[in-house]
Chain A
Amino acid sequence: DTAVSQTPKYLVTQMGNDKSIKCEQNLGHDTMYWYKQDSKKFLKIMFSYNNKELIINETVPNRFSPKSPDKAHLNLHINSLELGDSAVYFCASSQDPGTSGLHNEQFFGPGTRLTVL
């Protein structure tokens, strides 16, 4: 009955490789997000999708490409991995406040620890 799930949990790869991280939520939420958390625990938003439409695209290298096949899934593909991409990547989801009133707190997945060697 996991609310937001991510795979894989750990990802170790060489520089220059291409990798993907998958995320699924079973909460019926309209909006999904990708965050990057650095070693200082700072969570920075990368992308946000609302009903499969990209609504937030922060200053992220275009090597990062999100894809939302449906509103329950949001995947992140990373091309040509670099050392600086090493971090923990979190997926999150929230309800659109337009349909739920005020409450649109985010629910996070368990994270994917990416290590680029």
Chain B
Amino acid sequence: EDQVTQSPEALRLQEGESSSLNCSYTVSGLRGLFWYRQDPGKGPEFLFTLYSAGEEKEKERLKATLTKKESFLHITAPKPEDSATYLCAVQAVDNFNKFYFGSGTKLNVKP
């Protein structure tokens, strides 16, 4: 069965302390892996899409990487405004209209 597991559930960092979030997935043929950011009381906001192992995407302090079994979201020198829940989702080649989401990592960056 297709599924997505994110770890850790919660992460507390000091401002400037770099770290990584993990998204492990099992899918019958990966079409795409998506990262979203969700702020409290708001809908998920799209960050990145990765399509093949070895691919990397960057945006400001965030960098997403992909292997055949997992994806990492690296956060370099985070700031308090990076605090949010980060969600990972996968999409299978045989059903591109269905997205499987993980339960997210809640990141708290303290000044």
In the bound complex, do residue B101 and residue A43 qualify as a contact, i.e. CB atoms below 8 Å apart?
yes
Asked if B38 is an interface residue, CB under 8 A from chain A, the answer is: yes
In the bound complex, do residue B38 and residue A41 qualify as a contact, i.e. CB atoms below 8 Å apart?
yes
Contact of B51 among A35, A43, A56, A102 (CB under 8 A): A102
In the bound complex, do residue A102 and residue B97 qualify as a contact, i.e. CB atoms below 8 Å apart?
no
In the bound complex, do residue A43 and residue B87 qualify as a contact, i.e. CB atoms below 8 Å apart?
yes
Residue of A nearest to B32 (CB): A102
Contact of A41 among B43, B97, B104 (CB under 8 A): B104
A44–B80 alpha-carbon span in the complex (Å) = 29
Asked if A86 is an interface residue, CB under 8 A from chain B, the answer is: no
How many A-B pairs fall under 8 Å by CB? Answer: 62
In the bound complex, do residue A90 and residue B44 qualify as a contact, i.e. CB atoms below 8 Å apart?
yes
- Tell me which residues from 35 to 63 in chain A have a Cβ below 8 Å from any Cβ of chain B: 35, 40-45, 48, 50, 55-56
Digitize B35-76: 1 where CB-to-A-CB distance is under 8 Å, 0 elsewhere. Answer: 010100111111001010000000000000000000000000
A90–B96 alpha-carbon span in the complex (Å) = 19
Q: Chain A interface: which size bin?
A: 20 to 34
Asked if A14 is an interface residue, CB under 8 A from chain B, the answer is: no
A94–B91 alpha-carbon span in the complex (Å) = 13
A56–B98 alpha-carbon span in the complex (Å) = 8
Asked if B34 is an interface residue, CB under 8 A from chain A, the answer is: yes
Q: Which residues of A contact B102 (CB under 8 A)?
A: 42
In the bound complex, do residue A31 and residue B44 qualify as a contact, i.e. CB atoms below 8 Å apart?
no
Contacts A4-B43, A105-B34, A110-B43 hold; do A41 and B96 have CB atoms under 8 A apart? no
In the bound complex, do residue A44 and residue B101 qualify as a contact, i.e. CB atoms below 8 Å apart?
yes
Q: Which residues of B contact A42 (CB under 8 A)?
A: 101-104
A31–B97 alpha-carbon span in the complex (Å) = 8
Contacts A40-B103, A41-B103 hold; do A48 and B44 have CB atoms under 8 A apart? no
Shortest 10 CB-CB distances between A and B: which pairs? A108-B43, A43-B101, A42-B103, A41-B104, A105-B46, A108-B44, A48-B97, A110-B43, A111-B43, A109-B43
6 cross-chain CB contacts under 8 A = A48-B98, A56-B98, A90-B44, A94-B97, A102-B32, A110-B43
